[in-house]
Amino acid sequence: MELTESQLQKLRLGALTAIDGLWFLEVESRYGFDAALEVDIEVWKKYGLVILKRMARMIGIDLSSERPPDPATVNFLMENICRIDGTECEGEVDERGDIVFRVTRCSWWENLKSAGRENVVPCEHIDNTIFRHWLRAVDPRLDFEITASMPRGADFCEWVIRRA
C-alpha cells in the first residue's frame, strides 16, 4: 500500500486546518473564546511572517530591502501564502498599481461553516488583522479594504490592496 502525492497533499492541507481548529477549541475550553481568538490571531500573524520570509528566499526577494517589491511581486506573495492552505484566489494589478485580490474558495470559511461557527468567529476581523500584518511585512505602506465578503453573503471575498 502507498499513498499518492495527491493524497499526501490532501492530508497536509487537512492537517493544517485540523491543527488550527483543535488547538483553538482547546484554548477556548480552558481560557475562553476571547483568549483563544487573541492567541489565534498572534499565531497566524507570526506564521505568515515565517512563510513570507521562506517564500521570498526561495524566489530571491529581499524583504528587508529599502526598495519595496512592485505590485506584481506583492500579488505573487499574497496569492501563494493564501494558496498554501488550499484557498483558491487570484489577484490582478490594475492600471493604478492597486491589486484587486479575490478569494473564490476559502478553506477556513468552509471549515467554520461545517463546524457551525461562522457566526461565532469574526472572520473579517481575523482577515483584517492578519492580512494587513502580512502586507505591512512586505511593505509598511501597504493597506487594503475589503470590498466583498463571504461572511456578508457574497460568493467571494475581495480586497483592494494599495500603497498609502
- In this prediction the pTM is 0.89
Domain that holds residue 68: 5-163
pLDDT one-digit tens code per residue, 109-164:
998 899 899 998 888 899 889 999 999 999 999 999 999 999 999 999 999 999 98
Residues 6+ apart with CB under 8 A from 47: none
The yes-or-no verdict on residue 65 having pLDDT over 80 is: no
Q: Is the dihedral of CA 135, 137, 139, 140 positive or negative?
A: positive
Give the SS3 label for residue 34: helix
Residue 26 is predicted with a pLDDT of 97
Domain containing 113 — which CATH number?
Answer: 3.30.1380
Supply 61's cell numbers: 526577494
Neighbour count for residue 93 (Cβ, 10 Å): 17
Phi and psi at residue 70, to the nearest 5°: -70, 165
pLDDT of residue 143: 95
Q: How many domains does the chain have?
A: 1
Which three cell numbers mark 137?
511585512
